[in-house]
Structure 1
Amino acid sequence: MTARSHLQPIPAPLPMGCYKPQDVTFLLKNLNGLIQETDLKLREKIIQSGGHYSEMLPVEYEPSREYMALFYQALRENAFKVAEAVGIVAELILRRNGPQTVLVSLARAGTPVGVLIKRYLLEKKGFALPHYSISIIRGKGIDENALLYILQQHPEGKLQFIDGWTGKGAITKTLKEACAEFEAKYGYKLDSDLAVLADPGHCVQTFGTREDFLIPSACLNSTVSGLISRTVLRRDLMTDHDFHGARYYQELEGREVSNLFVDTVSAEFKRLQDERLVNLRPEDCRATWQGLKDLEQIREKYEVEDINLLKPGLGETTRVLLRRLPERVLINHPANPNLKHILLLAKDRGVPVELYPELTYASCGIIKQLS
């Protein structure tokens, strides 16, 4: 197949998630009632024994009142900084692709960022761009059915992939490989450029900042991401024509802050001077992969066999503490205000924290080796 009109027809998705319909369309199969969460210790044992993380769901972390207070504080303090990064990225995307852009966020950390970029471009530029959230899985690839559906709906669209931040660049590499595979299979070339708010790993070219700063949506799981679980790829739960799957945690509606997060950041857009935004970025925007190079030193020092057990950056460290079995957490400076929630989570879970001043990132989580 070489023409978009010949792409395999994919059925429309069913409504999912707690965002407003105009903010995002999730291209995911609802797995409610088909899959249960796996105990963290058992899940870690299965993953390190050769099982794949996408075949199981972690138990959702229930934040304490103290932890939620830190989230609200981070949101108050960082809302403008997040809005500024959103504005920079949105301006770059528009400059790159124009009004034919289709926003494609990577579930689930990319979803709130995609919502914010969509809102910025509508409010500041008057463009009502389509926005979809789809699944990509390290070691498995991107949801091709979701891509086919988007191309079916927007035959002249220019797809722009979006995520929240970079760690060591695993998803960046997965996306590049997936786009190459998609072209070989369907004859359609996708732009593998990944837009993120923060790129501390120095592995993308479209970013808001390379500072490893706290994006408040990194603090929580489904409750800040539309009540959607991590995405799942299990062939026994879906057909060849289904999208990748996820759970929709409707039972957590009373605790969701997804809309609060995007509403609070969106309210800061009126303070932005869009003509100045892109000039806030560093002049050299090349992807040097410096973060990955530094991780090799950490891997040698702590005798970590698999580099995938290292999770650098505030966002990835948070996720280690929320849904994996961490051995320790490295931090660059004890007085770094971005680390408050990391230190609280580590204390709650009894995880040792170690000072590592030469760290490129603000923090790095090391997953416990079970073998």
Structure 2
Amino acid sequence: MSTDLYTKIGSYSEEDVKFLLKDLSHVQLEGSAESREKRIQSGEHYSESLPIEYHPPQEYIELFYQTLHDYKKTVAYYVGVVAEQIYRNKGKETVLVSLARAGTPIGILIRRYLHWKYGISLPHYSVSIIRGRGLDYNAIKYILAHHPEGKIQFIDGWTGKGAISIELTKSVRDIQEQYGVELDDTLAVLADPGHCTTLYGTRDDFIIPSACLNSTVSGLVSRTVLNQSYIGPDDFHGAKYYRELESSDLSNEFLDIIAGEFVRIEEEAIPKTGEDASFSGLETVKRMMADFQINDINLVKPGVGETTRVLLRRVPWKVLIKDMDSPYLKHILMLCEEKNIEILAYPDMEYTCCGLIKNVGDV
């Protein structure tokens, strides 16, 4: 394939990140949460369409700033912990590759931390990975062509039940079989409540402020799209650039505020060795499925980040809460009240909370 496919997309600077995505801004891909949920549950792949994105309501913005104020140092600390591990493992040859889109701001923060701490400017790309479809191989080939000696480090925001970690491992194996290229499938994340990786900042299921909003804290870039009507065999996976939401864009402000905390955590961000990835969260999810008579594992979304996504862009059914006094639940409780979603106590789980998606087949 040609290696000149890259075009800038999104509101981040190219120094912070290059999105290896095809710009589909001119294509109408959005549908209401209800209609989209019915199509997904009827067999359409979730990556073929997009949820509608709006200017966030004022209460969401206030919640974002409150969460950011409360946890900016915590996020900065875990960024430092992960960044130090990456630097120790791969050094100056590292090529940061974040998974669009939740991984993108985390990848930028890791890059900024390493520049601030060690004076190095690592290349950073954001690529698509889609559950059931895998990594964007064209994007990986582009990176390998431009950094033949580079050591790729994949990055995401958090883990849920481990679907993306499993997808990444499968894709890395396929790349080795097809192209003879050996990549490291270790996924670096800030929070690993599902015990899905060995490279993490914490296994606490805490709220990453960027989970409170959609594209307006992710460079105005949509979720990634793999729809054969618009993506050819030599194209990158696609995404939309929501320029119409520029007046609500908090993406760079979020980065600047977190990066401003690095000076406060420098001595604390000590590399550590991760424990084994047991995927224990997946066993918890299977127990939830039995308890609530759920047949499709994709309707169970554990963790603060995933529950937030369910409430913002799916059709939620119930939300399970481990501890109602957890400080990480403010926005979850607000969204549940706003959408009139039932909250149930479920103390025996690794996660702070879990979102259950409504089975819309009978609706």
Moved more, 10-19 or 167-176: 10-19
- Structure 1: stretches of 5+ with no match in the other structure: 1-7
Aligned residue identity for 1:273 = E
Q: Which amino acid aligns with 1:248?
A: Y
- Out of 257, 274, 277, the residue aligned to residue 269 of structure 2 is 277
**What CA distance in whole angstroms lies between the structure 2 residues aligned with 1:59 and 1:351?**
20
Amino acid at match of 1:321: L
Question: CA 1:328–1:61 in structure 2 vs 1: closer, same or farther (change >3 Å)?
Answer: farther
Contact 1:9 1:148 in 2 (8 A): no
Residues 1:323 and 2:313 aligned together: yes
Given candidates 230, 238, 243, the residue that maps to 1:237 is 230
CA distance in 2, matches of 1:278, 1:269: 13
Q: Deviations over 1:110-157 (max 9, x none)?
A: 000000000000000111000000000000011001000001110100
1:75 to 50, 68, 75: 68
1:222-259: CA deviation from partner (whole Å, max 9, x where unpaired): 00000000000011102211100000000000001100
Q: Secondary structure at the match of 1:243?
A: coil
What root-mean-square deviation, in Å, do the aligned CA atoms of Structure 1 and Structure 2 show?
1.2
Q: What is the distance in 2 between the residues matched to 1:125 and 1:343?
A: 41
SS in 2 for 1:277: coil
| Counterpart residue number, 2:154 | 161
- Preserved contact between residue 156 and residue 188 of structure 2 (Cα < 8 Å): yes
Q: Which amino acid aligns with 1:155?
A: P
Distance 1:112 1:191 in 2: 21
> Structure 1 CA distance, aligned partners of 2:192 and 2:54?
26
> Is it true that 1:126 corresponds to 2:119 in the alignment?
yes
Question: Counterpart of 1:48 in structure 2: which amino acid?
Answer: Q
Residue in structure 2 matching 1:191, options 175, 184, 188: 184
CA contact (8 A) 2:199 2:274 kept: no
Counterpart of 1:73 in 2: which secondary structure? helix
Provide the C-alpha distance between the structure 1 equivalents of 2:29 and 2:149, rounded to a whole number of angstroms: 40
For 1:78-93, list aligned pairs within 5 A.
78-93=71-86
The 1:87/1:331 distance shift into structure 2, 3 A limit, reads same
Conserved 8 A contact 2:323-2:347: yes
Cα distance in 2 for partners of 1:284, 1:207 equals 7
Deviations 1:269-313 (A, max 9, x none): 111234x4236x5x6611111111111111100000011110000
Distance 1:51 1:182 in 2: 26
1:248 equivalenced with 2:238 (yes/no): no
Q: Which residue pairs with 1:4 in the alignment?
A: none
Answer whether contact 2:310 2:316 (CA < 8 A) is retained: yes
1:104 partner letter? V
User: CA offsets, 1:157-194, max 9 Å, x none?
Assistant: 00000000000000000000001111111111111110
2: distance between equivalents of 1:194 and 1:337?
A: 27
Name the SS of the counterpart of 1:278 in structure 2.
coil
| 1:224 and 2:217 correspond | yes
Aligned residues of 2:55 and 2:245 also touching (Cα < 8 A): no
For 1:1-371, list aligned pairs within 5 A: 8-274=1-267, 276-278=268-270, 285-371=275-361
Partner SS, residue 85 of structure 1: helix
- Structure 1 segments, 4+ long, off by >3 Å, are none
What is the one-letter code of the residue matched to 2:259?
Answer: S
| Unaligned stretches of 5+ residues in structure 2 | none
Give the conservation status (yes or no) of the 8 Å contact 1:80–1:265: yes
> What amino acid sits opposite 1:181 in the alignment?
D
* Preserved CA contact (<8 Å) 1:103 1:131: yes
Does the Cα contact within 8 Å between 1:40 and 1:323 map onto a contact in 2? yes
* TM-superposed deviation, 1:61: 4.9
Distance 1:214 1:165 in 2: 10
Q: Distance in 1 between the 2:54 and 2:348 partners?
A: 31
Tell me how far apart the structure 1 counterparts of residues 99 and 81 of structure 2 sit (CA, whole Å): 19
SS at match of 2:85: helix
Equivalents in 1 of 2:277, 2:120: separation in Å? 29
